[in-house]
Structure 1
Amino acid sequence: MSIFSRTRDIVASNMAELLDKAEDPAKMIRMIVMEMEETLVEVRAGIARTIADQKEMRSQIARLERMQGSWLEKAELALSKGREDLAKAALGEKQKAAGMAEALRGEIEVLDTGLRASEADISRLQTKLREARSRQSAVQTRLESANQRARLREMHSGPKVDDAFSRFALLDRRVDEAEARAEALALGAPPMTLEEEIAELRNADKVDAELAALKLRIASTVEA
């Protein structure tokens, strides 16, 4: 449905009032901008047609002026030959052509007045369109900002965040329990005897010796 009924309505419109009354300001401003753009196209197309009509009228006036000159020559010729009746008839045709040319000039003047009014309307309409586009950008920016704030608030206090922190707390408890069990086992284990410590050192030496032998064997295989 059209927001404006004619160009004058757009020029006289109050953007702020229209947006304040709108249930969906973003949608309303898009519709306003679209209708203004369409109206501009229509008005410019009408101006183009008017200019084309004026051009055609001027061509007709030029033809009528040539006709007047031709009828004057014919009247002069007829009069020189003593045919005053023909001269009078030729002058009558000349007057008809002059009257048609004058009527066309009057129409051109009327169209000129309309063109000046249309050009003024276009200038005011373009100003309104710039205002509407500026408000459209502001509305869009505010809408995006509101959406971002809503997402941030949801991240800060939403159920997903609460659930995630609950899971972290559960993991922390499980780690604490595992560490507690390990400490409990260590507390309950008897201390190593002197012989056990010496045996552990001997086992470590054996492992080191076996590792060195393994490295030597692998190195010999690679060289071969």
Structure 2
Amino acid sequence: MSIFKRVGDLFKANVNDMIDRAEDPEKMIKQSIIDMEKQLTGATQALGQAMASEKAAFNTLEKAKKTSSEWEEKAKIALKAGNQELAKKALSAKVNSDQSIASFQQTYDSIHGQVVDLRSRVEALRAKLEEAQGQQNILIARARTADAQKDIAQAISGVDSKSAFSRMEKMERKIEEKEAEAQAFTNVSGDDILAKDEFKELATNSSVDEELARLMAEMNSESK
């Protein structure tokens, strides 16, 4: 039956292949479970209908057997009463019932075989569904892990220029550039200050020398 073949195909699919073909493997896995549940429901309903037909065929068969037995009892009663003609009529009816029994038995056996086959298939389908339900969380976890690994790899390699890590790295580079620029200005400014201090010191020393010469001259003049 097609529904059982489809179930088998679902379980042959590899989760990595699902990730490659589906935009959202998690949704695909959940949808597969839903589809399998629907298939199990349909198969169970078909089994129920077959079982109802089996019961009806069994009841018809049993009724025919009972009718045959009743005609045989009537034939015995007629013979005991010495009425062979009536006994023959009863046995003729019994023969007709026996012919019906053969036909009903064949119908019942056919339906019963179908029920046995359907029941085994439904049980197999139920087992596969339970297996799928048990694997559902594992497959979803594997899909999520694969997505996480991909995101991490992209963040590290910088493949995704829009990622937060990539933006942070760009900001860090800009800050480093600003720091280097600020340090350069600081160094230049420091050199200017040092130069101004040296010139100031030279001017101060010159004034001191002049004052020293003046004072020594005055003292020499006074001593004479």
Cα separation, 2, equivalents of 1:68 and 1:109: 20
* Identity percentage of aligned residues: 19
Change in 2 beyond 3 A, CA 1:91/1:18 = farther
2:55 matched to which residue of 1? 55
| Cα distance change, pair 63–124 in 1 and its aligned pair in 2 (3 A) | closer
Deviation at 1:86, TM superposition (A): 2.7
Matched AA of 1:11? G
**Could you give the per-residue CA deviations for residues 26-70 of structure 1, whole angstroms, max 9, x where no partner exists?**
244334323322221122222222222222333223322322232
Which of structure 1's runs of 4+ aligned residues deviate more than 6 A?
Answer: 163-167
1:157 aligned residue? 165
Distance 1:102 1:48, change over 3 A: same
Q: Which amino acid aligns with 2:7?
A: I
C-alpha RMSD of the superposition: 3.9
- Alignment partner, residue 23 of structure 1: 21
- State the SS of the aligned residue for 2:21: coil
In terms of Rg, which structure is larger?
2
CA distance in 2, matches of 1:54, 1:9: 27
Structure 1: how far apart are the matches of 2:163 and 2:15?
A: 35
Structure 1 range deviating more: 150-159 or 46-55 = 150-159
- In structure 2, what is the equivalent of residue 144 of structure 1? 144
Give 1:11's match in structure 2, choosing from 8, 14, 29.
8
**Contact 1:67–1:94 (CA under 8 A) maintained in structure 2:** yes
Bigger shift: 79-88 or 46-55?
Answer: 79-88
SS of corresponding position for 1:6: helix
Deviation at 1:111, TM superposition (A): 2.5
Aligned residues: 169
**Contiguous gaps of at least 5 residues in structure 1:** 174-224
**2-structure distance, mates of 1:6, 1:149:** 36
Is 2:43 aligned against 1:35? Answer: no
Letter of the aligned partner of 2:12 in structure 1?
M
One-letter amino acid of the counterpart of residue 93, structure 2: E
In structure 1, C-alpha distance between the alignment counterparts of 2:12 and 2:29, rounded to whole Å: 8
Instruction: Give the structure 1 partner of residue 44 of structure 2.
Output: 44
Distance 1:118 1:93, change over 3 A: same
Describe the SS at the equivalent of 1:75: helix
Matches within 5 A, 1:60-209: 60-148=60-148, 153=155, 157-159=165-167, 161=168
